[in-house]
Amino acid sequence: MKFWIAFINSIKLPNRQAIFALNRISMDIAVLYLFILLLIVSAPSLADQLTDPGTGMHWLLLLIYFFIFYYLPLNMVVLLLVSLMAYIGAGIAKLLKRKIRFSILWKLVVYMTTIPFLLYTIIALFFPIGDVLTGLFILYTFIFMIKVIIAFPKRKRRK
């Protein structure tokens, strides 16, 4: 149920109510949500490997190979990119004097990747994906991250 709520609210981003609803979801749900999302994203590649007659490997070995050499590295790269974007976002939030922490930004960046990842999956089923499209998806996430930062209230000055 929480995954469905997270999915619906992540589609609505950068809506203010969606931002604060996603903020109330715990970090472990966000991490598991990202892993599930990446499993969906990697499905076209898995289908290509399983249906390729040139491999000559048993399907179980192909599945193990896929998870070790495709899915796990993909998770590591995406986790690093999400962390980097959240770190940059924390710097932007500090410059804009917004009241948002790195952990909240990290979680929201995970949810902001839903639409680009789903579009990537749909397009990858029919066409090969280039670096330009991947760059556009990163730009999309970055722009929405800035909109989310602006939606947070400003920090109050302490005297």
99 vs 108 pLDDT, higher one? 108
Q: Residue 109 has which token pair? A: 């960046």
pLDDT of residue 80: 96
Whole-number percent of the chain with pLDDT over 70: 99
Which residue reads 């931002």 in tokens? 19
Tell me the per-residue pLDDT of 42-65, one tens digit each, with 9 for 90 and over.
999 898 888 888 778 888 898 999
Contact status, residue 40 vs residue 117, Cβ threshold 8 Å: yes
Write phi, then psi, for 154 (nearest 5 degrees). Answer: -75, 155
Tell me the per-residue pLDDT of 1-18, one tens digit each, with 9 for 90 and over.
889 999 999 999 888 899
User: Is residue 138 pLDDT above 70, yes or no?
Assistant: yes
pLDDT (mean) for 111-124: 93
C-alpha 113/C-alpha 82 separation (Å) is 9
User: Is residue 156 pLDDT above 90, yes or no?
Assistant: no
Q: Residue 136 has which token pair? A: 């556009």
Q: For the chain, which residues make up each domain, given as ranges?
A: 2-49+57-151
Q: Is 77 exposed, middle or buried, given 0-12, 13-18 or 19+ CB atoms closer than 10 A?
A: exposed
Q: Residue 48 has which token pair? A: 């290509």
pLDDT of residue 153: 82
User: Is residue 159 pLDDT above 80, yes or no?
Assistant: no
How large is the C-alpha radius of gyration of the chain? Answer: 18
